[in-house]
C-alpha cells in the first residue's frame, strides 16, 4: 500500500471572532497550511478535499465542503464533508490518507472549520448536545459536560482519581497554550484557580471544561510519488486507527474507558509498528480534563487507573517523559468542533518539522494525535513519523 505524508498544516487563531465567517477562517487556515509546505505547493495540484464540520448553529449543513473550497478558488475539485461530531476533523485527515493510499489522489486537502460563538448560549448547548445519544441520554437532561462528568465520577469511584488531578491537567495545558499564539485561552492558570472555579457538572468545574470556539485548521496529505516535490524532510503518516462505538455512554460496557479510543490506538500502533514507548509527544482529546486522563490509559501511556498519578508526577508536562497537548489542547487552544482534529495535526506537523516555536520539543520523531467524537461514539488516532535524512530510503 502506498505511503501517505503530511507536507503542510496550518490553522487560524482559535477563539471568538464575530467579524469572521466560516469561509474567512477556513481561508486563513488554508493559506497558513500552503505557506507551511517547505518547498511550496501549487493549489492547482490539489486533487481532492475533505472538510470536517458539525455545522454548529445550523449554518450550511448541506454542501458545506464545496462552500469553502469554491470560496478558496479550488474550483471543481471533489470535496466531501465529514461529520463525526468532535472527531470530524480527525476523520477528514483519515479520509485524505485513504484517498492517497488508494491511489485515487496524490494531493489532498483535509480541513475542518466551526463557528460556535455567534449564537446564544442555549443554542450552543443545543448543538453541543446533538452529537450525544439524543433519545435517552440527552433527554435525561445532560449535555457532554454531564456525560463526561459521569465518566469522571465513575473513574473517581473506581480508581480514587481526584479533582486536583483533573485540575492539574488544566494547569499543564494552560501552561502550554500560553506559548501558542493561536490559542484561545492563552494564559497560565494556577492549581488554585483550577480548583476553585464554578461547578459546571459535578465533579467538573469550569476549568475542567474546554471553551467553545471559532476556528479552522488544514492539513495537506500527499502520496509517496509526489512527496519529494514538497519537502526534503518528510513526515510519514505511519499509523491510522479508527473505531466506532455505541453513541450513549450507558450503552457501553465501561464508563471509565473509551473503547473506541483503545481500538483506534491499537490499530494505529500496529500499523506504525511501534508501541506507546516510542512516542515523543501526543495531542489527545481533552474536551474535558477527565478525557485526557482516560486517553492516557486507553492509548497505553499508563495502566488503567494510573492516569491521575501520571499527571501528578508531571510525566506529560512539556519536560516530562511523554509531553501531552503541547499546543494547549482543547482546554487552552480551543475546541472549534470540526477543526479540532485537524488542529491537532497542525501541532504534530509543527513539532515534527521543528516550527513549534516556544513550545518546540527536542527533535521528536514520533507524534500521536487522538480525536474523539461525542463521548466515545467515534475515535481516530494518527501516528506521525519524522523521517530523518538517514532513513529516507523508505520511499
Q: Where on the chain is the footprint of other proteins (CB under 8 A)? A: 120-123, 125-126, 129-130, 133-143, 145-146, 149-154, 157, 198-204, 246, 248-253, 255
Sheet containing strand 48-52, edge to edge, reads 79-82, 48-52, 107-114, 215-223, 4-11, 235-244, 378-386, 366-373, 281-283
Phi/psi zone of residue 169: left (φ > 0), alpha (ψ -120 to 50 degrees), beta?
A: alpha
3-class state of residue 121 by DSSP: helix
Q: Least distance to other proteins from the beta carbon of 244, Å? A: 12
- Compare residues 257 and 325 and give the one whose CB is closer to other proteins: 257
- Compare residues 119 and 226 and give the one whose CB is closer to other proteins: 119
Q: Least distance to other proteins from the beta carbon of 126, Å? A: 4
Strands 215-223 and 235-244: unpaired
- Quick check: 260 and 249 in contact, CB under 8 A? no
- Compare residues 209 and 220 and give the one whose CB is closer to other proteins: 209
- Compare residues 128 and 352 and give the one whose CB is closer to other proteins: 128
Comparing C-alpha atoms, which of 57, 102, 103, 51 is closest to residue 78?
Answer: 51
How far is the C-alpha of 306 from the C-alpha of 159, rounded, in Å?
8
Residues with a known catalytic role: 86, 335
For residue 386, the cross-strand partners are 235
Q: Least distance to other proteins from the beta carbon of 19, Å? A: 24
Amino acid at each position: 500500500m502506498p505511503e501517505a505524508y503530511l507536507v503542510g498544516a496550518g490553522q487560524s487563531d482559535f477563539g471568538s471572532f464575530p467579524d469572521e465567517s466560516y469561509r474567512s477562517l477556513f481561508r486563513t487556515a488554508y493559506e497558513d497550511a500552503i505557506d507551511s509546505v517547505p518547498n511550496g505547493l501549487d493549489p492547482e495540484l490539489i486533487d481532492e478535499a475533505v472538510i470536517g464540520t458539525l455545522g454548529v448553529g445550523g449554518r450550511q449543513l448541506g454542501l458545506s465542503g464545496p462552500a469553502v473550497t469554491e470560496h478558496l478558488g479550488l474550483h471543481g475539485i471533489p470535496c466531501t464533508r465529514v461529520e463525526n461530531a468532535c472527531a470530524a476533523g480527525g476523520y477528514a485527515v483519515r479520509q485524505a490518507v485513504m484517498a492517497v493510499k488508494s491511489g485515487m489522489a496524490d494531493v489532498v486537502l483535509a480541513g475542518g472549520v466551526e463557528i460556535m460563538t455567534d449564537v446564544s448560549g442555549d443554542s450552543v448547548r443545543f448543538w453541543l448536545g446533538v452529537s450525544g445519544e439524543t433519545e435517552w441520554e440527552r433527554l435525561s437532561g445532560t449535555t457532554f459536560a454531564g456525560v463526561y462528568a459521569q465518566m469522571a465520577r465513575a473513574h473517581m469511584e473506581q480508581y480514587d482519581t481526584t479533582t486536583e488531578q483533573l485540575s492539574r491537567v488544566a494547569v499543564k495545558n494552560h501552561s502550554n497554550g500560553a506559548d501558542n499564539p493561536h490559542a484561545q485561552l492563552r494564559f497560565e492558570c494556577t492549581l488554585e484557580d483550577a480548583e476553585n472555579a464554578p461547578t459546571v457538572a459535578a465533579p467538573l468545574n469550569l476549568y475542567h471544561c474546554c471553551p467553545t470556539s471559532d476556528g479552522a485548521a488544514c492539513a495537506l496529505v500527499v502520496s509517496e510519488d509526489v512527496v519529494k516535490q514538497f519537502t526534503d524532510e518528510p513526515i510519514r503518516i505511519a499509523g491510522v486507527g479508527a473505531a466506532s462505538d455505541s453513541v450513549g455512554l450507558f450503552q457501553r460496557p465501561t464508563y471509565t474507558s473509551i473503547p473506541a479510543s483503545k481500538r483506534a490506538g491499537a490499530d494505529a500502533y500496529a500499523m506504525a509498528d511501534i508501541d506507546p514507548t516510542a512516542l515523543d509527544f501526543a495531542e489527545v482529546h481533552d474536551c474535558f480534563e477527565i478525557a485526557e486522563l482516560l486517553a492516557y490509559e486507553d492509548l497505553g501511556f499508563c495502566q488503567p487507573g494510573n492516569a491521575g498519578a501520571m499527571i501528578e508526577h508531571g510525566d506529560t508536562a512539556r519536560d516530562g517523559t511523554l509531553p501531552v497537548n503541547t499546543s494547549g489542547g482543547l482546554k487552552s487552544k480551543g475546541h472549534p468542533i470540526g477543526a479540532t482534529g485537524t488542529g491537532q495535526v497542525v501541532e504534530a506537523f509543527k513539532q515534527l518539522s521543528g516550527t513549534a516555536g516556544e513550545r518546540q520539543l527536542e527533535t521528536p520523531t514520533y507524534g500521536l494525535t487522538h480525536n474523539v467524537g461525542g463521548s466515545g461514539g467515534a475515535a481516530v488516532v494518527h501516528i506521525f513519523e519524522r523521517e530523518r535524512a538517514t532513513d529516507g530510503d523508505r520511499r
